Structure 1
Amino acid sequence: LEMFLFAVNHLYSSGQMLLDYPRLLGPSEALVKDVVEFLCEISNPNNQSILLRLFKQGDRQKVLGVSSLLKGGEVGYFPRVITPSDEGDLECEASVQNISRTIPTVSQPLPFRVIEPVEGAEVVYSGPNELFEGRNLELNCTVKAGNHLSFKWRHNARLVSPSLFHRIKDDHLLIYRATSKDSGAYRCEVTNRFNETKVFSSNSSEVVITVKDLVSEPSILVTVLKEEDHSYSAVVTCQTDRGHLPITFLLYGTTGLISNLTAVDRHAAFKVPLVLDRHLGWLQCQANNGDQTTHSQWLPLKVEKVGGPVSIQSQYDMAENYAIIGLRFYCKAAKGTHPRFQWFLNQTLLSHRGSFYYVFDQLPEQSILLVSVGRRSAGTYHCEVSDSFDNTTAISSKRHHVDKEVLNRLPVFVVAIVFGCFTMVIVLVSFCCLFGALFREFHRGGNVYPQICFCFMQAEHEDSLLHLSSAVASDRKQTSKQKERCLNYRK
């Protein structure tokens, strides 16, 4: 306040004139190339000729408009064709014409926004259109014209929402560690608004991105093929569960690369000469689809023919009433790397599944036959094992007879054990009863303390010797009487 009063006092003392502050009026928003008129009002009580100029705040070098007020005039007009550079805070400056002693006054700033309709949206991507999963995908959206823009991204026509792996910032889309699900067509939609009533938009053309799956670790499988000349070959199959096609498979042996094949499927087969019952080294599959090479486990190349004996083991399944309702047969061969199991009921070959049975192979170890016990399942079961590549020779197991009534009948030894236990219980109970009766008879008329008498007889001599002992006696004088009782009891 002191500085302001000092300036006013200085002006009056120096003879300079002080004008009122002007007021700038006009729209707060306009489109590019629109013709807009701004008004600048100022109080002119002294009927001065006033010069009004339109500036952008902070830039006095560029005059946006000029208006001269004749004596007594109070309103100046600034018609202008709007350009993008007009955006900012506008100010109206007033000064008295032809009088250098006047200090100009400036209006309050008028915020002014210029809207340029958006045009020419385009997706910019500098990377390859095909990339492998795990890489980052970065897209940018540019426009030829436009400001105050809003951006939307679409993937296969669906709106892309921000997430942990999809980061959106204005015209920038970053997909972190892209997967094959991120493959597809991308485009951006750009809009801007004027007065919240008119919307301008521009959609880019689509950019197609392909994210390839990395090839997974291959599996390796060996089957045996018998040729027409009775020789044998190993068919080695390499297979992957996932991976962008095509995939190049390579088969390696102990000495190096055996063969390679580029497949449009996720598997490939190689034929290798084979000698039965001999170890021919080790095999490994490798797979590559352009980014990385994966490896299978090393597999020994040894094919062993089936050999006996063939054994069958069984297990029972019981109901709550302990009745046998199911059987499980396990068939195993003593040796063989590529066995084929066959189950028979009364010499009839069983298929994989029936109304009362089910065959489950756990190759190459064993085959399991599940049987529901009943009238239809009664009969004699056995299994035969042969080589899967040569069924001319089959080894048979022992026969197992299945009958529901026989299975649920108690074995003789079980009946004998139960009857023997029952008889023993009866004997023990009878002995206890007899001993109790004799014990009461022996102690009849005695004192309240129990007397125990033990009689021992030695039959080796003609004259029997009787040894008596007594315990816990209340009166030692009664010992002779107790001996007499023992003798009478023995007679």
Structure 2
Amino acid sequence: MFVVHGSKVTSSPLRMFASVVVAMLGLCHCSNHNGTFLRTPELSGPSEALGNTVAVFECKLLPHPENETVLMTLFNRGSTDTWLGDSTSLAGEAAIFNLVVKPSHAGDLVCQARAQNNSNIKPTFSNTHYLKVFEPVSSASVSIMSFTTIFEGEDLYLSCTADGNNVSFTWLQNDQPISSPHVMSRDHSFWIDRITQADSGTYVCEASNSFNGTDFTTRSQEVNVTVKGPRRVFEGEKLVLFCPIDGINMSFTWLLNYQPISSPHVLFSDRLLWINRTTQADSGTYVCEASNGTDFTTRSQEFNITVKGPRRVFEGEKLVLFCPIDGINMSFTWLLNYQPISSPHVLFSDRLLWINRTTQADSGTYVCEASISLKGIDYVSRSWNVNVIVKAVVSDPDISFAVLTEDSHYFSVGVTCQSAVGTPPVAFSLYNGTESVANVTSADRRAVFRVPVVFGEHLGTFRCQANNGAKTASSGWLPIKIEKVKGPVSLTYDYDIAENFAVVGVRLYCKVAAGSHLRYQWFLNKSLLQDHGSFYYVFNQLPEQSILILSVGRSSAGTYHCVVSNSFDNTTTISSRGRYLDKEVLNRLPVLVVAVVFGCFIFLILLVVICCGFGVIYSKIYWRREYGDKFLLEMERRVVAYEGELDVSEYSDGADVLRTVGDGFDQASDASSDEWPQIARQKKTIEDEPIEVPLGFK
């Protein structure tokens, strides 16, 4: 039964039906949600892999949701997730990822499971799987942090680098593992704090690592180290000498120049002699004596030490300074001229100062400061001063020569070698071809060599070499031949013309047939002209010629000539012929020019007259050849016709006579209608003339 209250309809069966519908929908929803929920996938695979090999990773999702396609994705989880691969699972099979391992794949790997066709299902992630990528060691090389030729007591620093990970380093001396207690190594670094002559030899670094029982090893290049006994040190540097005598319960004594050392700045420690700051007074021969306290005493070899002034290096060379201050947890600062070094090309490494390519700006006094802080108090220790002078490398020398006069009969060639750059002293050598001529050391980058002269012969091709300790610089080749002046001397000129065709400037050229080191002199009316004057200028193009440039005017009038001689010998002079020049002469036309011009004019007139005469003669010949015969024939016809008109008594019929005569001239006129107009006019005149009829004719 239904009850209606306004707009509401209520019924017990209807309420029951609605409840059933709601319950069924809830069950359906719960059933759908529980059926497509994704579990956590499981990622498995190797935890360590060799680079450039294939590693297989497997991702499983159990249980697999029914009627769902699951997309499996492999990620490298770093600062950002890096995609490594995808695989689709249709019916619960495991996703397989074949990964070509690279160094960038190292780190945490995760697998993501996602319903491929249902965006309502949230993706899930596997546990993190860490992958370590192993790189085999390769390309080992040794860096030298000190000199390879060093002296006893100095320090040797070597460093080894190699490509790969988990690399261990082993150092070998002469292909044997190093076991000396005073040799230290850490990680890839190797150093000998106080080297001895026993440390000379060949050093090699071996770098190695291993993977799954396989060992990988690479070997560096060889480094040859030479340890010298006697050596040179510079003022202010330390000197450390090591006594090579071995023994038990031995006491050691050091001698300088075979006298016991009593200087307070010389320290002794076991077998070592240590001078912290050397002076030139420390130069000499050092000997170590070892004694066991009884009757046994022995001496070492001699150490010849020379303490020199400032340390000198050349531009472009490296400079390595070592701070002698020892200590733990100390920081080091280097000063140049007592100011902290801020140059970007100066490197610092622990106790080392390293300048790979020095310049002259690196000259000065170097000091090392070592500092340490203990209980809030800073302690600073300063090393000795090291004076460094960076020398300029000598430049390629210029070579030139001049003839030198010893007396009137003896001459020589002075060959000059000069370098523009280079710190003295500079050693110069002169070569003639491959043969050495002479050597000299100069304090001002300049040297002069004398070579005997043989006139007229080629002395050779010379070259200079210069060296101030860094490298040998060479000049170009210079051929040398000395020849005395030989004639003749030619004098020529040309000139400049103004707008009015007047000569305003003259250039005189003086040349000689042969000679070297020439000197030209110009004369005006036997007066010597200097290099320049109010109206002239001398320009020498040695050795080819000399040019005298003149401004034409009243002052420049006169006779000019030049004299040529050798610059090194005034005994032989050759003069040119004189040439007179003034304004009128230069602007006057020469007789020869006038004769040539008028001769050419007369020749042209004669040529025209001759051509006209030939033209007249040719025209007459042509007239007679073309029209002469025709004209005579026509005239003959006209005479005959005229005679016929006069003799009319031969005809009986006067009218016929007239007709005949007229017809005859008409025919002749018709036949000669193409002839000259004069003939036609003649015809016309004859026809128009009145004819007198004789008596007896009608």
User: What TM-score comes out, normalization by structure 1 length?
Assistant: 0.49
Using CA pairs under 8 Å that are at least 6 residues apart, name the structure with larger relative contact order, 1 or 2.
Answer: 1
Higher helix share: 2
User: What TM-score comes out, normalization by structure 2 length?
Assistant: 0.36
